[in-house]
Amino acid sequence: QVQLVESGGGSVQAGGSLRLSCAASGYTYSSYCMGWFRQAPGKEREAVAKISRGGSRIYYADSVEGRFTISRDNAKNSLYLQMNSLEPEDTAMYYCAADSTCLLFYTDTDTGYKYWGQGTQVTVSS
C-alpha cells in the first residue's frame, strides 16, 4: 500500500522558517520524481518544487525561488522542503506527491503525479 505522510507544518510569523518532511512507503521511492504542491483556500493547487529521481534536477516556482529548498534522501525514502523567509502568501495546505514519468518536469503542472499525501497545513501570519 502506497503511503505519503507529510509532517512539519505549523504556524509561524512572516520571516520565519519551517521544514516539511514527507515519508514514503509502498513503492520504489528512488524510481519516482517527487514534488511539493500547495493549495490555499479558494485557489487552485500549484507546484512549489520538484526534484528528479536522483536529485540532480530541481524545479522551483518563481514565487519560492531563493527561499525554499527541496531535497530528498533515497536511503530513507524521504522528501524535504526547507522554507525560509516565509510570507503570508505562503499560507496553504502543502502536499507531497510522486510521479513515475518525470515528464513536464520544468513546469508547474501536476500532470503525472500519481501518489499524493494528505497534506500538512502551513500558516504564516504578518
What distances in angstroms separate CA 126 from CA 10, 15, 16, 122, one per listed residue?
14, 9, 10, 13
The pLDDT of residue 104 is: 87
* Residue from 86, 85, 81, 40 nearest 58 by CA: 81
Contact in structure between 102 and 56 (CB atoms under 8 Å): no
* CA–CA gap between residue 105 and residue 47 (Å, rounded): 11
Listed as ranges, residues in the chain with pLDDT below 70 are: none
The pLDDT of residue 108 is: 87
